[in-house]
């Protein structure tokens, strides 16, 4: 079914809501070892532009898809949890019959990678990459004292309900640390393009994902049994390296490699594409 020719853009069916199908938009291009790129909140598979071009040039089959509720995928009012997200990923893996695949997640996408490996195993996966990761656990609890207070997430939900458009302006500003990067690694046009994608996402999905961020992945990480690369910026304002990811995930995943990018924000696939691409291609090889 799949030859060496560049693959067309497609949708896969992952469920139904009342009378409507739930479909994921994906792009499948090139040939060679498959690399599946899973985007962060509140963007789409298009956020991987700088990685897709590099991977295709280097001879990898490159697959992106839009999480349910985001990008060009369906916008149901349910399923914004990591069990469902991992199931959606599994359906994509099965539909394309991917083997020896490398899963690459950014931000929320690292949750899909983690929950997929914990639930479905690594039979189809050879390596995993976690960029600006949300695991192990971002919420502050008695047994996770470095986490972020619940009140912060309650405030985010209130802001989304009050004015989702204004909230997303603030979020994307912190996503890129625009007070530092605007006019340098991030242009006005990049900001506007990201904002356009973000506001077109499901309002319900945008709101529901805030609670999803609080998923505890500590047990899931014990199931990661493939070589793992973790990349995190030490100036990340969305998922601070002192609260999640980084050293905490590195300690939890045996044999993993940790790369900390100095003064780097959350949106490093764009702002630090050269560093990300170098680390990624070295890891793939």
CATH number of 10-284: 3.40.50.1820
Categorize the per-residue pLDDT at 2 as very low, low, confident or very high, splitting at 50, 70 and 90: very low
Active site residue 126: no
Q: Distance between CA atoms of 79 and 259, rounded to whole angstroms?
A: 32
| Mean per-residue pLDDT, 183-210 | 98
Please state the three-class secondary structure of 168-207 as a single string: HHHHHHHHHCHHHHECCCECHHHHHHHHHHHHCCCHHHHH
Q: How confident is the model at residue 7, as a pLDDT? A: 42
Condensed to tens digits (0 to 9), the pLDDT of residues 213-257 reads: 999 999 999 999 999 999 999 999 999 999 998 889 999 999 999
| Band of pLDDT at residue 64, cut at 50, 70 and 90 | very high
Residue range 101-117: average pLDDT?
A: 98
- Which residues, including other chains, have CB under 8 Å from residue 165's CB and lie 6 or more apart? 199
Burial 210-224 (b: 16+ CB within 10 A, else e): bebbebebeebbebb
Q: Is residue 4 predicted with pLDDT exceeding 90?
A: no
Closest CA to 109 of 164, 52, 64, 154: 64
Those residues with Cβ within 8 angstroms of residue 132's Cβ, 6 or more apart along the chain or in another chain: 40, 106, 107, 110, 231, 232, 233, 236, 238, 239, 245, 266, 267, 268
Tokens 């609670």 sit on residue:
211
- To the query of whether residue 236 is one of the catalytic residues in this protein, the response is yes
Catalytic-labelled residue, pool 74, 107, 202, 256:
107
> Is residue 266 flagged as an active site residue?
yes
CB atoms within 10 A of CB 246: 24
Is the entire prediction scored with pTM above 0.85?
yes
The CA angle 121-122-128, to the nearest 5 degrees, is 120
Instruction: Spot the catalytic one: 39, 106, 232, 266.
Output: 266
> Per-residue pLDDT for 131 more than 80?
yes
Residue 9, pLDDT score: 59
> Which of 236, 250, 256, 272 is an active site residue?
236
Q: Which residue in this structure is represented by tokens 């242009």?
A: 187
């Amino acid at each position: 079914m799949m030859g060496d020719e560049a693959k067309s853009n497609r949708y896969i069916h992952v469920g139904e809501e009342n009378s409507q199908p739930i479909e994921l938009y994906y792009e499948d291009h090139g040939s060679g070892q498959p690399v599946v790129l899973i985007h962060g909140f509140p963007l789409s598979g298009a956020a991987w532009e700088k990685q897709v071009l590099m991977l295709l040039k280097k001879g990898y089959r490159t697959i992106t898809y839009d999480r349910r509720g985001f990008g060009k995928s369906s916008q149901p009012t349910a399923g914004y949890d990591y069990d469902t997200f991992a199931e959606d990923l599994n359906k994509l893996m099965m539909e394309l019959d991917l083997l020896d695949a490398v899963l690459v997640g950014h931000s929320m996408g690292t949750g899909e990678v983690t929950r997929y490996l914990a639930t479905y195993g690594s039979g189809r996966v050879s390596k995993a990459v976690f960029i600006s990761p949300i695991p192990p656990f971002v919420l502050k609890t008695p047994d996770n004292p470095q986490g972020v207070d619940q009140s912060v997430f309650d405030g985010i939900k209130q802001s989304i309900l009050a004015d989702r458009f204004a909230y997303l302006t603030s979020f994307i500003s912190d996503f890129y640390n625009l007070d530092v990067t605007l006019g340098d690694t991030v242009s006005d046009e990049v900001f506007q393009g990201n904002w356009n994608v973000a506001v077109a996402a499901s309002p319900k999905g945008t709101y529901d994902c805030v609670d999803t961020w609080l998923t505890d992945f500590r047990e899931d990480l014990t199931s990661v049994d493939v070589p793992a690369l973790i990349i995190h910026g030490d100036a990340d304002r969305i998922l601070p390296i002192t609260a999640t990811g980084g050293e905490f995930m590195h300690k939890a995943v045996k044999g993993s490699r940790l790369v900390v990018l100095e003064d780097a924000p959350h949106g490093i696939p764009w702002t630090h594409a050269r560093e990300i691409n170098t680390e990624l291609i070295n890891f793939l090889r």
